[in-house]
Copies of this chain bind each other. A is one copy, B any other.
């Protein structure tokens, strides 16, 4: 008889596997540039994509289990090289259940430009409660110390310094690198990656048409975000 933890981890690996495949279907990754992880909060065990394995060779069983110290639990495969970044986010953002990293084209273009994605309209405000921040460029000390962990720190610091609530803006650009997103589960985190790419492309277009654009006013962001989220939401069938 399987114990409950085993069952939960098996389900987690399946969800993480499906969401990694979903990244490909949604054109958010090319080749092996991307990874999804999910966490079982009770045990603190994370399932994550193995490093550098072609997407067509992935199965639920190839997902690698690691603990919050990064120790592998049951696999011969190496976990994603970005595992420590994921762990850092799980530690800093206690309510999230999944992290996604992609090199999706337009979100990455903004990260390379070292610019936040301003909130230019209601498509953005429907899903993100303000601009998507872009971190500082990683310092030479951080690169030398522990590159992947410090990448996580850059995200956490960006949210802390700018007073951003990770519950309401579930995405961050890492300067010169690319986007990370998160959510309550892999499905939501991938969905956020997908919305992020769409608004990244529309905002690219908008600022080329009108380079003077600034963030949409707070009252309009409030209206759209809050009609979909929180206790006064009236969008959908809830």
* Contact residues on A (Cβ < 8 Å of other chain), bracket: 35 or more
Name which of A3-11, A17-25, A89-97, A219-227 contacts chain B. Answer: A219-227
Which partner residue on chain B sits nearest A198 by CB separation? B30
Instruction: For chain A, residues 184 to 227, give those with C-beta under 8 angstroms from any C-beta of chain B.
Output: 191, 194-195, 198, 201-210, 213, 216-217, 219-220, 223, 227
Closest chain-B Cβ to A204's Cβ sits at a distance in Å of 6
Determine the distance from Cα of A143 to Cα of B80 in the docked complex, in whole angstroms: 46
Indicate how many identical chains form the complex. Answer: 4
Complex interface: chain B residues within 8 A of A105 (CB): 198, 201-202, 205
A178 close to chain B: CB less than 8 A: yes
A interface list, Cβ under 8 A from B: 30-31, 33, 50-53, 77-78, 81, 103, 105-106, 108-115, 120-123, 126, 137-138, 140, 143-144, 147, 176-178, 191, 194-195, 198, 201-210, 213, 216-217, 219-220, 223, 227, 234-237
